[in-house]
Amino acid sequence: MEQTKTLKKKRGLLFYISIYRKILIQDLKSKMSYRADFIISNFGMIISNMSGFVTFMILFHNFPSINGWNYYHMLFLYGFSLIALTPVQCFFDNNWNLRFMVRSGDFIRYCFRPINVFFYFISEVFDVKGLGQFAFGLGTFIYAWCHLGIPVTIVTVSQAVIFLLTASLFMIAIMNAAAATCFWIINSGYVMVIMNRFRDFAKYPASIYNKVFKFIFSFIIPIAFVAYYPSLVFITPDNVPLLTWLSPLIGAFFFYLSYKFWMLGVRRYDFTGS
Amino acid sequence: MNSIKRLTALTRAGVMESLQFRLGTVVTLFGNLIYLALVYFLWKAIYDSCGSSVVNGMTFYDTMIYLILATAIFNFLEMFIIWDMSRSIQSGEIILHLLKPMKYRLYTFWSYSGTHLISFFLTFLPTFIVVMIITKGAIPLGWNFLFFVISLTMALIINFNIDMLVAPICLYTESTWGINMVKETIVLLLSGATIPLAFFPDSIRRVVEYMPFRAVYDMPLTILLNKDGANTMNGLLSMLGTQLIWCIVLTIAGNLFWNHAVKRITVNGG
């Protein structure tokens, strides 16, 4: 009894970090053999992000503002959302393969390892094309930050880092939950495709919606937390709603829920005995 | 006669295959509804903040109808040729397709035709009818619907050919995701599916006029809505003519490129 307890203790954060590093290096090694793919994927990512930028340029060529948000406000929101969406792209991309693995039965091999199934499955893939998005998002973010004249102090910068990190939890939670539906519905890829389309919604201010949709996008598909709520800290610093300050906690809660849902699916998968 | 039978057999197989995933259709429809709600709120906010009700010849309702139908056309046109081709190259399955006593391009086109037929009746038509009822006759109904169907068919052929032009690039680069992303982004942006072409700055629009992407979304929609350029016989004919020319040019280019690329296929093992 005592022994298992110490064993469990060893499996702390450090243990998982060292495992993650090892798996990551293996994955990157295999990715390096496709250098052209690395370049083209990142190019594709940047082109697709740039089209969002161009969309705003065209919109604001015709219209001065959207619901009180001007061009640079929107770019700030866009940059914020791109950075906050990078972790789900880079670290949680293996969710897209889950349904194939579950269907073919390959998934069972993850259940036989003496480490957390979710951790092991997710750590297997690091998606390099997220780096292109990160670079483009950071550029947009800084560009808008400068134009809005937000002061650069220790407080604002650390706020930015904390809110960016916690905002990323929301999309991760959404995609985890969407991927986990494949434990119940065969070939549920379309759920992921649709949820993935919602990520495009993150770049618009949630203030444009009516009450019903604002509620849906805040608490059911929490897309408004990806960029809108957290960036209010910088855009309207004198008038920050309570939800913004609570968003780190809500993010952790959503992530926990999605993790539990995912693991519930794994339990169910074990029992089918395939 | 025999060959037509062969082709319609492929269509029928596609119809049956897409009817299998009914739950998928329902979920997609639901996703579309939420997406359209977003488009509605966004453009409502845009027009509310702007003050004038007509911008670049487009009212709020024009923009909405245009974008809703563009989404419906997007669902109708969606093909996964690039993905399918790269998957069948990776698995070696492409050899089976090449050995069939039928041209590969023709085979692909007709296997997709069933899916298109279903999505026309299950997604495009219902969307169109709902829009018509809600807007109470903002869409003029008459001969333009016939021309629209002709135009949409050509848009389908153009879209197919763009895909078939891009897909073989994967044979050379071994990168599917990036190529597909670039294609999708360029087509959606420059065809007017994200923002109606009427809002583009003049300089950009003049360039876009000479590209084939406009023929995929903007032209069928302009014909259907009977907007500028399509409301005269001359304008209508020139649009349909442009589409026809793009059909021919892209088909020839696609054929040449495919014939060249197919020689590059290497399948490892059996």
User: Which residue in B28, B45, B173 is closest to A66 by CB distance?
Assistant: B45
B231 CA: distance to closest CA in chain A (Å): 25
Whole-number percent of chain A with pLDDT over 90? 35
- What does the pLDDT read at residue B250? 92
Best CA proximity match to A81, nearest among A159, A171, A18: A171
Contact of B35 with chain A, judged by CB distance below 8 Å, is answered with yes
Among partner residues A48, A51, A197, which is closest to B31 by beta-carbon distance? Answer: A197
Instruction: Choose the closest CB to A197 out of B35, B173, B200.
Output: B35
| pLDDT, position B106 | 81
- In chain B, the residue whose alpha carbon lies closest to the alpha carbon of A204 is B42
CB contacts < 8 Å between A and B, how many? Answer: 107
What's the domain range around B34? 2-264
Complex ipTM more than 0.85, yes or no: no
Residue B269 located in a structural domain: no
Q: In this complex, which of B24, B185, B200 lies closest to A51 when CB atoms are compared? A: B185
pLDDT at A2: 45
Structure-token match 């007509």, residue found: B54
Contacting residues of B for A51, CB less than 8 Å apart: 185-186, 188-189, 194
Q: What is the pLDDT of residues B108-118, one digit of tens each?
A: 888 888 878 88
CA distance A268 to A111: 12
**Residue B266 or residue B249, greater confidence:** B249
Higher pLDDT, B89 or A24: A24
Q: Is residue B61 in a domain?
A: yes
**A62 closest CB neighbour out of B30, B45, B55:** B55
Tell me whether residue B148 is in a domain: yes
pLDDT number for residue B15 = 73
The mean pLDDT value of chain B amounts to 81
Q: Which position has the higher pLDDT, B24 or A241?
A: A241
Domains in chain B, number: 1
Has residue B270 been placed in a domain? no
pTM for the model: 0.84
* pLDDT tens-place string over residues A156-201: 999 999 999 999 999 999 999 999 998 888 777 788 888 888 888 8
Which residues 6+ apart lie within 8 Å of A37 measured at CB? A31, B173, B174, B175, B177, B178
Say whether B24 and A194 touch across the interface (CB within 8 A). no
For residue A1, what pLDDT is reported? 42
B202 lies within 8 A of chain A by CB: no
Chain A residues in contact with B181 by the CB 8 A cut-off are: 41, 44-45, 47-48
Across residues B8-27, what is the average pLDDT?
Answer: 72
Report whether pLDDT(B268) > 60.
no
B57 at A interface, C-beta within 8 A: no
Average pLDDT over residues B177-194: 87
State the Cα–Cα distance between residues B218 and B192, nearest whole angstrom.
6
pLDDT at B180 over 50: yes
Query: What's the pLDDT band for A42 if we cut at 50, 70, 90?
Result: confident
Report which of residues B1 and B77 the model is more confident about.
B77
Q: Where are the domains of chain A?
A: 34-272
Residue A158: the pLDDT is 92
Which pLDDT belongs to residue B20? 66
**B156 domain residue, yes or no:** yes
Note the pLDDT tens digit of each residue in A111-149. 888 888 898 899 888 888 888 899 999 999 999 999 998
The answer, yes or no, to whether residue B136 has pLDDT greater than 80, is no
Please tell me the predicted confidence (pLDDT) of residue A174: 93
d(CA B225, CA B139): 6
* Closest-approach residue (CA) in chain A for B190: A51
Query: Which has more pLDDT, A268 or A73?
Result: A73
Q: Which of A24-38, B39-53, B121-135, B254-268: highest mean pLDDT?
A: B39-53
Among chain A residues, CA nearest to B33: A194
Contact B179 A40 (CB under 8 A): yes
Determine whether the interchain pair B28/A190 forms a contact, defined as Cβ–Cβ distance below 8 Å.
Answer: yes
Q: Would you call A44 and B181 a contact, using CB atoms and an 8 Å cutoff?
A: yes
Residues A37, B200: C-beta atoms closer than 8 Å:
no
pLDDT exceeds 50 at position A155 = yes
pLDDT at position B59:
84
